Structure 1
């Protein structure tokens, strides 16, 4: 049995120690209600939130405190990217930009796993090869039955944290 007095994770949870930091970045692609929740909650979880939105009017509608850019920024081993709207015409183009960064830690597209991902056809039409297309995760997040934008954001962030920490997610410890 672990003595809670000697448990570093317990010290962080009780505010007796700072969590291990890092330069973690969460990039949400496309302004949406899910992006707003994802970036707001992501900031609370220690991510540097970035919104990629080519349409300035749509970007202005997402008040999340995130840095807003019109193109995909540099992605590295500390960056997770989540496309929050798979119905946008720019889907293939922006995913191709993301896949051009080979060190990107994680790239995913939200969507119902019972339906084919539209990103596959969009990327294929742009000449992106199957190995790069396979780097795109879909579905994303943990299967908690999420339906609302905040629930989808929580499931997505939980999945990203589990993946980053090498854990399966769920109730298995």
Structure 2
């Protein structure tokens, strides 16, 4: 089995939790943060690697990409790069009841609807997660379920 890579984009509390847990769960983990002023010295590791862009993260068909902030101006460009790299799984945080700003950003970049449909939103198993650690656990649990060939409960049709 080829090891999976988890790439979290943007330094946020959720990405910190995801990266710390991902290493323990067998993922090679990478933080992509385009803005060097955002990554502050911390006492916890950011996973295996910190880079400034997706190209440096070494995306391939074994890579899962999770954008942990949907308000950053780079989301369209980052998602387009992830889609073009034919990554295995792509997700962006957000509420299922509201259309994410990534849709307009990708449309403005000319990304076809079928490609946009590859971007999962919301991310994680439907466990009602609200805090950064809960979102990290729910997302990683879903990726583990997928890695193990199980459905994992990504259905949000009954979400409240």
TM-score by length of 2: 0.87
**1:161 alignment partner in structure 2:** 144
2:120 equivalent among 129, 137, 148: 137
**1:60 alignment partner in structure 2:** 40
Equivalent runs, 1:77-156 vs 2, <5 Å: 77-102=61-86, 104-156=87-139
How many residue pairs match? The answer is 149
TM-score by length of 1: 0.81
Q: CA RMSD in A?
A: 1.5
Q: Residues 77-125 of structure 1, C-alpha deviation per residue, up to 9 Å, x if partnerless?
A: 21111000000011101111111112x1101111111111111110001
Q: For the residues of structure 2 that align with 1:140 and 1:47, how far apart are their CA atoms? A: 17
Q: Label 1:131 to 1:68 Cα distance change in 2 as closer, same or farther (>3 A).
A: same
Q: For the residues of structure 1 that align with 2:150 and 2:93, how far apart are their CA atoms? A: 21
Q: Residues 51-102 of structure 1, C-alpha deviation per residue, up to 9 Å, x if partnerless?
A: 1101112123564333111111332221111000000011101111111112
1:69 equivalent in alignment to 2:51: yes
2:25 equivalent among 20, 38, 45: 45
Gaps of 5+ in 1: 1-20
